[in-house]
Amino acid sequence: MDYFPVFLDLKNRRCLLVGGGDIATRKGRLLARAGARLCIVAPEISDELKHLAEQGGGELHYREYESSDLNDVVLVCSATDDNELNVRISEESQARYLPTNVVDSPKLCSFITPAIVDRSPLVIAISSGGEAPVLARMVRAKLETLIPKSYGRLAQLASRWRERVKQSFSEENRRRFWEKVLQGPIAELVFSGQDEQAERAIAEDLANPDYVDTQGEVYLVGGGPGDPELLTLKALRLMQQADVVLYDRLVSPEVMELVRRDADRIYVGKRRSDHHMPQENINELLLKLAQEGKRVLRLKGGDPFIFGRGGEEIDLLAAHQIPFQVVPGITAASGCAAYAGIPLTHRDHSQSVRFITGHLKTDNPNLTWPELALPGQTLVFYMSLVGLEEICQVLIRHGRSPQTPVALVEKGTTQDQRVLIGTLETMPQRVAESDVHGPTLLIVGEVVQLHHELSWFSPERSGSQ
């Protein structure tokens, strides 16, 4: 984060604006909307700026800038086309530790003005740090279409009832009350212009001591293979309303960034042969937290029902009649294969696909190696890095061609994705020479040869090999 976002209270406070043309007028509009008293200094001042200053009890000075203009102001904006003057204003104002903005000159600024979506008292600021202002304006335009004007009235409704709600509920129940109000029928009344009905409804709900349900709940959510844009809308919504989050190492940092910021976070590990918290303890902790009335997010990499032990976790919840929801995620096989340009099935190469855990031993009766060695299918091994050499050897031993194409996808769908291509015969050596780290996914089958033709994803920090 290059800039710390902050909102300044400028109501009835004196702000210096140097310049009187079109650019200065645009700055003046924003400052006036924030309630600032404009002190405008310029040889010529536009009619609109004059009106803004006079309307807000400001000042007009028809002359060149003087250092004394910095006296008794709380903020400085320079909007002139004189670069030397802009540099002087920047240096003198920052020497006094005054917040300083020079239009279109980020290097001369101590703060920059963002693109704004105004739904007062709800205000959204978007900034690119001065690097891509057109992009920031495009994002603003998208938000303008997504956020109705009536959000401002909804925020005002919440403001009017804030103290009464605060006195009526504990902190946790207060948050739940507002979530029901702001996402339910009362919000819809405001959106449809029925503000008086909304006021009556919130009063009725506040008078009902049972309005806030203190029953705990568990959300078993698939976080996908790493790219946060692969999350489902439902997953994102539940991630934003959970009170506590249990997560493991397969959940990417980018996905964790989307969890509600004030939620408690509990890391439960889950690395091969090194479980930070045993599975039985995780199950018990989910139950305990839900019984305390918390909304618990169990966030897993990939899909919770594909090698995620999600079924084990909700078994205990069901036995104790704890409500839960299961939100599927894009499993690693689908995500990593797609981002590597490898179709898991293809009319000419593979008519079926099998997902297999690489943690299983070769003598495990559930793993039918003779069937896995048959051609015309794609095999996807999860958690296969440690057992990679054994997997390749056993498949060859049971009849799969040593020249069968193989791909190892490291940290798939993320900006650190790397794809190693080889065969059953060569892949163990390739991996040994490439300093590979988990999480990884092993794809075996003729479809792998399509990688070079269909590869489309280009990570910023590492390329496919």
Catalytic residues: 248, 270
Is 274 one of the annotated binding-site residues?
Answer: no
Is 22 one of the annotated binding-site residues?
Answer: yes
Helix, strand, or coil here: 87? helix
Angle between helices 171-183 and 195-207 (to 10 degrees): 150
Q: At 87, list the tokens.
A: 């540099």
Is 383 one of the annotated binding-site residues?
Answer: yes
Among candidates 176, 294, 306, which has minimal Cα distance to 246?
294
Is 427 one of the annotated binding-site residues?
Answer: no
Contacts of 297 (CB under 8 A, 6+ apart): 218, 219, 221, 238, 239, 242, 244, 245, 246, 259, 263
**Which residues does residue 23 pair with via DSSP β-bridges, in sequence order?**
none
Is 23 one of the annotated binding-site residues?
Answer: yes
Q: Which amino acid is present at 89?
A: I
Is 332 one of the annotated binding-site residues?
Answer: yes
Q: Is the preceding peptide bond at 365 cis, omega within 30 degrees of 0? A: no
- The torsion of the CA quartet 169, 170, 175, 176, rounded to 10 degrees, works out to -70
CA atoms within 13 A on the CB side of 1: 5
Is 331 one of the annotated binding-site residues?
Answer: yes
Among candidates 213, 160, 234, 170, which has minimal Cα distance to 190?
160
Is 264 one of the annotated binding-site residues?
Answer: no
Is 184 one of the annotated binding-site residues?
Answer: no
Alpha carbon distance 122, 285 (integer Å): 37
Is 44 one of the annotated binding-site residues?
Answer: yes
**Which residues does residue 418 pair with via DSSP β-bridges, in sequence order?**
410
DSSP state of 271: B
Is 306 one of the annotated binding-site residues?
Answer: yes
Exposed e or buried b for every residue in 318-354, given b needs 16+ CB within 10 A? Answer: eeeebebebbbbbbbbbbbbbbbbbbbebeebbeebe
Q: At 382, list the tokens.
A: 């999860």
Q: How many residues does the chain have?
A: 465
Is 301 one of the annotated binding-site residues?
Answer: yes
| Annotated binding-site residue numbers for S-adenosyl-L-methionine | 225, 301-303, 306, 331-332, 383, 412
| Annotated binding-site residue numbers for NAD(+) | 22-23, 43-44
| Annotated binding-site residue numbers | 22-23, 43-44, 225, 301-303, 306, 331-332, 383, 412
